[in-house]
Amino acid sequence: MKFFADTADTAEIRDLADAGLLDGVTTNPSLIHKAGRDFLEVVAEICGIVSGPVSAEVVALDFETMMKEAEVVRKIADNVAVKVPLTIDGLKACKALTDDGTMVNVTLCFSANQALLAAKAGATFISPFVGRHDDIGFDGMQLIADIRLIYDNYDFATEILVASVRHPIHVYEAARIGADVMTAPPSVIKQLVKHPLTDNGIKAFLADWEKTGQKIG
């Protein structure tokens, strides 16, 4: 499963990239607001750090303006994936952009039928939001399993990008289901390394090493 970081914080992105943990990045207007930086500038910087897909979202709701915004965004770098909302105009933009060789991430997916439409429109990625689905009492991971089944039934090439990931169990379940990608905040990716037995083991080994009175090098 590919790992994308769901952030516009370039320091965090560099940190994860240095550990070889990043296959791409996703941003959205809220994350750009949180970063407090110019949209085009920060996306360009991220594209220079990560060679994989970097999602940058258009904000227009009508097809023509969406395409104008997409034109600006896709010029930033070859690894930009234009993010469009799951609406009819968004799907039209998805079709036009992917036909033209641009990667497209269709976002804000909350049903298997929506995912089916995105695949038919040629989406590179579909982003079902598991955390927001859980928040309103639906099983976000069941949605991922349904989309996996449907895409496999018809051999759709669209990659399932599990979004709105909130904790390590989401990552574990997405990997078990066979999602292609998951995008999570850097804090969640860093949480994956944590295990109390690892910490205890390090402590015990260091205590015994002290007793040997030796040094390495």
Q: Could you give the residue numbers annotated as active site?
A: 83
Closest CA to 76 of 108, 114, 38: 38
Considering beta carbons, is residue 26 or 124 the nearer one to ligand E4P? 26
Q: Give min distance, CB of 183 to ligand E4P, in A.
A: 5
Considering beta carbons, is residue 67 or 182 the nearer one to ligand E4P? 182
Considering beta carbons, is residue 17 or 182 the nearer one to ligand E4P? 182
CA distance 132 to 110: 9
- Which residue type sits at 81? A
Report long-range pairs for 199-205 (Cβ below 8 Å, ≥24 apart).
none
Alpha-carbon dihedral of residues 101, 102, 106, 107, nearest 10 degrees?
170
Closest CA to 34 of 171, 187, 190, 182: 187
CA distance 36 to 139: 33
Q: Give min distance, CB of 125 to ligand E4P, in A.
A: 9
Q: Where are the beta strands (DSSP E) in the chain?
A: 2-6, 24-26, 54-57, 80-85, 103-109, 125-128, 159-162, 181-184
Considering beta carbons, is residue 172 or 209 the nearer one to ligand E4P? 172
Beta bridge pairs of residue 83: 57, 105
Q: Give min distance, CB of 131 to ligand E4P, in A.
A: 5
Residues engaged in binding ligand E4P (CB under 6 A)? 6, 26, 28, 107, 127, 129, 131-132, 163-164, 183
Q: Give min distance, CB of 90 to ligand E4P, in A.
A: 14
Q: Give min distance, CB of 55 to ligand E4P, in A.
A: 6
Considering beta carbons, is residue 158 or 164 the nearer one to ligand E4P? 164
**How far is Cα of residue 192 from the mean position of the Cα atoms in its chain?**
16
Listed in sequence order, the DSSP H helices in 155-185 are 168-177
